[in-house]
Chain A
Amino acid sequence: MLENYKNKFIPLILPIVLILIWHGITDGLELFSSYILPSPMDVVNSAWVVIENGKLLTNTIDTLYKVFAGLICASIVAIPAGILLGWYKTLEDLCTFVISVLRPIPPVAWIPFSILWFGIGTFPAVFIIFMGCVFPILVYTIDGVKRTDKVLVESAQTLGANDWNVLKRVVVPSTVPYIVSGLKVGIGIALMCTISAEMIGSSSGLGYMILTATNLFDTGTTVVGMIVIGLIGLAFDFVFSRAQDKIFW
């Protein structure tokens, strides 16, 4: 019993200590002026303001909307493409060079073109997120297809499955855990890309909120935005880990 409680409380110790130190060097010792490093109370006050006027909620929803739109677009392209590339060696040989060159380009490097092509707003951000997610999902899917257990493929063949059925009934389901891993990586990247994109070519979202708040020396709100992004990431991680526990056999 006591052991259980101990384990549950251990992860909480460090955050509490950090907040106490933070409080100590800001409100306690007053080492910094509040716009250089806002105190925990400043952050709570700013949070209250943006919660009450609804800005936090609308900007969070806006950011999540972009993340999902980009992720879904990337999945629609990357999952079928990954399955085909993993299955047909020639197709992979054909594409491998292009993929290898495009993949290391940081998604934010596409920001200038995204603004030129799509202007300011939701579209350019979705495009950046797409560029950021498409490659990890693609690579994980290709890898998953290649790791399909040969015995399962051969079993299906000796049970009378044709090539199409082998692909549909064996290769695709056995790739699902890898696709989920790819999505997990993709969503982390998507979150990063969204914030960067919003800071440059956008007029809404958490990134935009952070940047405008900073420009107005309202750094309390900046910290609120940062914490919300962290919490969103944590929530996604939790959901995907649960999904993986369910799928990994």
Chain B
Amino acid sequence: MSIEVKNINKTFKSKKTDQLSVLENINLTINDGELICLLGPSGCGKTTLLRLIAGLEQPTSGEIVANGEVVKKPSGDRAVIFQQYSLFPWLTVLQNVTFGLEMTKKGSKAENIAAAERYLTSVGLIDFKDSYPHELSGGMKQRVAIIRSLLNHSPILLMDEPFSAVDMQNRHSLQEQLIGVWKRFENTIVFVTHDVDEAVYLADKIVILDKNPGRIAKIVEVDIERPRKRESPEFIALQESIVQQLNMED
């Protein structure tokens, strides 16, 4: 499913100044099955752009078209993995994972549970299916949240710095797993991050955003072959050139 971001402007009312422009004149095409990273310093509006695509917020002007339809409100087609933990604390892991399927009435209860168990097995979380979220580590919670969206067959995954609260070792393993999942399910993924390494490791295309107001500074195509090696010269070279680009903005 492709996404078209057309002439998006977003301003918030703030107390100090009359209006705060967060995003200015954003145009972006995200192709079906692409993995895009939105990269930029804090305050550049990358999360706002993601929320606009999700339909959780409305643009001040311009429009976003996902799969031929203008985005007006949130939908099960565009799942969001939030930076904060977003599992329902009163449901077990299994109940959390099947939540979306119950909402969209996609299958029978038995089918849904079977599918959920299959997915949980594939990420090594099957032993925790009857646990509650507070019994899981941060990385596990985010894996469950991703499984919850995948199981719902959301063609678009919108991820807002989902691994930022996880330690580096686990973050690398989660990134690797995400690439595996993306190849298998062929989702379109928009991944927000402020971590250059993460962006270079994951993305087909890196959209570098500038702040005050948020606008697209540069779009970088990443054509390093997967699986990417962090120690390879091309990886390091690209990382350095992006860091330079970001420093130029400041």
Contact = CB atoms under 8 A, between A and B. Distances in A.
A binds B: yes
Interface string A154-174: 111111111001000110011
A152 B79 contact: no
B67 interface: no
B90 A159 contact: no
Given A151-B82, A249-B90, A159 B56 contact: no
A151 B84 contact: yes
B148 interface: yes
A173 B100 contact: no
Contacts of A152: 86, 88
Contact of A158 (B56, B89, B132, B134): B56
Nearest to B152: A159
A120 interface: no
Contacts of B80: 154-155, 158
Interface stretch (B13-21, B70-78, B214-222): B70-78
A176 B75 CA distance: 27
Contacts of B82: 151, 154-155
Interface in A171-189: 173-174, 176
Interface in B108-150: 132-134, 145, 148-149
A151 B83 CA distance: 9
Contact of B90 (A160, A162, A173): A173
B99 interface: yes
Interface residues of B, number: 29
Contacts of B85: 151
A173 B92 CA distance: 13
A160 B88 contact: no
A179 to B, nearest CB: 13
Contact of B132 (A157, A165, A249): A249
Contact of A159 (B133, B134, B148): B148
Contacts of A160: 75-76, 100, 103-104, 152
B54 interface: yes
Interface-centre pick from B79, B82, B103 (highest chain A CB count, 10 A): B103
A159 B88 contact: no
Given A165-B103, A169-B99, A249-B134, A157 B88 contact: no
Contact of B76 (A151, A158, A169): A158
A59 B198 CA distance: 71
A160 B99 CA distance: 9
A56 B186 CA distance: 73
Contacts of A157: 56, 73-74
A170 B152 CA distance: 18
Interface in B133-172: 133-134, 145, 148-149, 152, 154, 158
A152 B100 CA distance: 13
Interface in B48-82: 54, 56, 73-76, 78-80, 82
A214 B47 CA distance: 70
Contacts of A159: 76, 79, 99-100, 103-104, 148-149, 152
B90 A158 contact: no
B224 to A, nearest CB: 31
Interface of B: 54, 56, 73-76, 78-80, 82, 84-86, 88-90, 99-100, 103-104, 132-134, 145, 148-149, 152, 154, 158
16 contacts: A154-B54, A155-B82, A156-B99, A158-B54, A158-B75, A158-B79, A159-B76, A159-B100, A159-B152, A160-B104, A160-B152, A161-B103, A162-B103, A169-B103, A170-B88, A173-B88
Given A155-B145, A249-B90, 11 more contacts: A151-B84, A154-B82, A155-B82, A157-B56, A157-B73, A158-B80, A158-B149, A158-B158, A159-B152, A174-B90, A249-B89
